[in-house]
Each structure stands twice: as structure tokens, then as C-alpha cells.
Copies of this chain bind each other. A is one copy, B any other.
């Protein structure tokens, strides 16, 4: 069973938007065990859309089109698909009632052109749109299945969850697929792959390595008759991976290090204070992306200048004069200052050279020092990314912030010998 994605929209071909729908759908289809072999982007053009769909139908079992379901004359997807497949359109009363209701609730009159959005393919399955006006739909013909979805992610994503996934599961799921993401920090992709190289050749579950923003992850995917069996097969392999990688693993199916850090802080009832120099707010931003972060995080200080490091955080002018702002001692003093100012139980700090250029004193871009303190013990980590030049700034800042979160989670996991490296 294989699938092809077609994203429709001239705005994608002009580079005005990133095609996040294709990523979302690719991931969801992979999780269903359906292989996406091709994805295409085509503009709002009748002929090219029809050609692209015809080719997709010739080589793929399932074709998912996203975009082009709006009310304007540019929105051609539904019309062109039905023409190409030889399926007539009919007006769907429930879709029309929903669209009318949608406008009524917003207190704006429904334009006549919105009426065309209530047209659906004869004999197809309709997916109603809980966030917008355009319904989605699925049409089957000659053993092929074509699914049409609205383009905006805030409409497409819930429609997939609520309508399309259940539809596909019912229709195509022979057995069940379960997948787990084992997320690590502190090891490169190739070093990780080496430690589990024998597992990478497995067939069921499969194990595949990926690198992502300075992290490495392993995806374990199992197929079995029931989802419980598939989950058990996954879990056995995850246990084996755990025995190889140990505390390098910060989570399984966790969205990111900030989630692990916040969860462990909540569990331990501790609060975190933050002092940031080169990351300048990024650690605080990541922590507070986790809903409920306010339970564990109250105060962050962005101390971008030496003066603020001295005045607000109490860093010693002498240390700054002797060693500069990017050194282990300043990181240590910043963490102590953050603990004091925030009144938290634990504080983490970072000072470094984000780049793209080296510091005036010749310290390289990508060098940072981080400290974590609980008021009694202080741990210091030195990080060198080796990245400089254009594009390095964002990467270096992100990796520094990940190291800070990694120190927090290792502390709370009791892995004190791995928090610092100095």
C-alpha cells in the first residue's frame, strides 16, 4: 500500500510558505505504515494539476491532495479531481448548513462564492471541517483512493485526526503499526548508530537513526496483528536500546528536552531560575513553550552585557577583567546570581559566543560555558560546537540552550557525574 502527496498552491512554488502540510501528512502516513513514495507540489493551474493527478493515480494506491479548496476562482482542486476521475459533484446539505452557521457565528454574511465549498464528490466520504469552511473528502474509484484536504494546517491537521485517520485505519489497516521515538542528547548520529548498528538491520521492528538540531534519535517501528502486540515488540527493542545508550536517552516519544526538564521539575516540586547571555531568552522561551511551565519557572535574567552581569547577577568585575565574559567562573557566578534573584531551587546559566564571528578576544563561535547550581553543588559544562560563519548563530544558540536543559534533566535524574565536564 503506497501513497503520494500533492500539495496545490502557487504560493508554495513561489517560496512564500513552507510546505508543512507535506511533512505532517508524511509523518502521519508513516505512522499508519503506509509508505509515501512521492510528494509533488503544483500551482493553481488546471492542466498541470490534472496531469499530476493522472500520473499519481497511475503509480500510487492512495493520493492525498491538500490546498485549493477555498471559495475563489483560483481554487480548482475539487473540480479538477472530479473531472479527471470522472466523478460528478453534488451539493452536501450538512456542509452547506455548516458553512452558513460558520458565518452566522462570526456575524458576517456568507458570500455567494462560499456556496461552492459545499460541493462534494458523488458517492464520496465527507470530512467536515471543525475549524473552517471547506469540507474535505475521499473518493474511491478503480481501486484507487483520492483524498482532498484544505491547505491551512490549522484546518488540515484536526481534519486528519478526526476524519481521515479513522477512515484510513478502517480501510487499510491490516494489523497495527506502532512507532516509538527514542530521543538522545550528548551523542552524534553516527556514534549512536555505531552503538546500535546490529539493530539497524532488523526488519520488524525496524530501527532507523535520525539527526535533528544537534540531537540524535532512533525511530523504532513494529507491525503486528494487534496494537498491543506491536507495542510490546517496540518496547522490547526500546529496552535493548536503553541498555546500550543509558542516560544519553532523555525520553521516548517526548517532543523535546524542555518537556523532559519541565516534567522532572514538576515531579520533584522544584523551581528553576535562568541566567542567559549568548542564548538571550531562548532557554526561557523553550521552557515556557511547555504548557504548565509556570509551576516550575518564575524568573529568567537575560544579561547580555558585563554591566548587567555585575549589577543584576553579582558577577565579579575582577573575574570579568581577568578572564572575559566567556569562561567557567563567570558561568558559575551567573548561576549563583540567578539562584539568588529568582529565589528558585535550582539555577542554570550560559555564557558563550553565539557567532557567526569569533569574539574580539579570539574565542571561537560555538564556545559556551554553562553552570548549574542548587546552592550547594555547582556543575560546569564546556561546549564547543565547531560551527561558525553564516547560519551558525542560530544553531549555536539552540545547542547551548539544549545543553542547559540537558544539565537540568541529568541533575533531576540524579546523574550528577554527567552534568558537568569541567
User: Taking beta carbons and an 8 Å cutoff, which residues of A are in contact with B?
Assistant: 11-20, 22-30, 35-43, 45, 48, 52, 55, 106, 130-131, 153-154, 157-158, 210, 212, 219, 274, 276, 279-285, 287-289, 291, 293-294, 297-305, 307-308, 311-312, 341-343, 354, 356, 386, 389-395
Contact A12 B39 (CB under 8 A): yes
Contact B30 A38 (CB under 8 A): no
- The verdict on A307 contacting B302 (CB below 8 Å), with A36-B13, A291-B356, A391-B157 known, is no
Chain B residue numbers with a CB within 8 Å of A299 are 301-305, 308, 312
Contact B37 A15 (CB under 8 A): no
How far, in angstroms, from A288 to B355 measured CA to CA in the complex? 11
Which residue on B lies nearest to A18, using beta carbons? B23
How far, in angstroms, from A107 to B271 measured CA to CA in the complex? 41
Contact B11 A210 (CB under 8 A): yes
Which single member of B20, B28, B29, B302 contacts A18 (CB below 8 Å)?
B20
Contact B291 A298 (CB under 8 A): no
A sample of 23 inter-chain contacts (CB < 8 A) reads A12-B22, A12-B26, A13-B37, A16-B27, A17-B212, A22-B41, A39-B40, A130-B389, A157-B390, A274-B302, A279-B285, A280-B287, A281-B288, A284-B302, A284-B304, A288-B304, A297-B304, A298-B303, A299-B301, A299-B305, A299-B312, A300-B302, A302-B302
Which single member of B16, B39, B43 contacts A13 (CB below 8 Å)?
B39
Contact A26 B15 (CB under 8 A): yes
Chain B residue numbers with a CB within 8 Å of A158 are 390-391
Which single member of B12, B30, B282, B300 contacts A301 (CB below 8 Å)?
B300
Which residue on B lies nearest to A52, using beta carbons? B38
How far, in angstroms, from A36 to B341 measured CA to CA in the complex? 55
Which residue on B lies nearest to A286, using beta carbons? B281
What distance in Å separates the Cβ of A240 from its nearest Cβ neighbour in chain B?
22
Copies, count: 2
Contact B28 A15 (CB under 8 A): yes
How far, in angstroms, from A52 to B38 measured CA to CA in the complex? 9
Having A15-B27, A131-B391, A281-B300, one finds 4 other A-B pairs with CB under 8 Å, namely A12-B23, A15-B28, A38-B40, A157-B391
Chain B residue numbers with a CB within 8 Å of A210 are 11, 16
- The verdict on A30 contacting B18 (CB below 8 Å), with A280-B284, A281-B285, A284-B281 known, is no
How far, in angstroms, from A327 to B212 measured CA to CA in the complex? 40
Contact B302 A281 (CB under 8 A): yes
What distance in Å separates the Cβ of A303 from its nearest Cβ neighbour in chain B?
6
What distance in Å separates the Cβ of A382 from its nearest Cβ neighbour in chain B?
17
- The verdict on A41 contacting B43 (CB below 8 Å), with A343-B307, A394-B289 known, is no
How far, in angstroms, from A18 to B212 measured CA to CA in the complex? 11
Contact A298 B307 (CB under 8 A): yes
Contact B40 A291 (CB under 8 A): no
Contact B312 A300 (CB under 8 A): no
How far, in angstroms, from A27 to B19 measured CA to CA in the complex? 13
What distance in Å separates the Cβ of A139 from its nearest Cβ neighbour in chain B?
23
Contact B285 A280 (CB under 8 A): yes
Chain B residue numbers with a CB within 8 Å of A274 are 302
Contact B24 A15 (CB under 8 A): yes
Contact A106 B386 (CB under 8 A): yes
Chain B residue numbers with a CB within 8 Å of A22 are 12, 15, 19, 41
Most B CB contacts (10 A, CB to CB) among A40, A212, A293 go to A40
What distance in Å separates the Cβ of A355 from its nearest Cβ neighbour in chain B?
9
Contact B23 A17 (CB under 8 A): yes
Most B CB contacts (10 A, CB to CB) among A18, A43, A304, A394 go to A304
Contact A39 B37 (CB under 8 A): no
Chain B residue numbers with a CB within 8 Å of A291 are 356, 393
Most B CB contacts (10 A, CB to CB) among A14, A29, A43, A343 go to A14
Chain B residue numbers with a CB within 8 Å of A308 are 298-299, 342-343
What distance in Å separates the Cβ of A111 from its nearest Cβ neighbour in chain B?
10
Chain B residue numbers with a CB within 8 Å of A307 are 298, 343
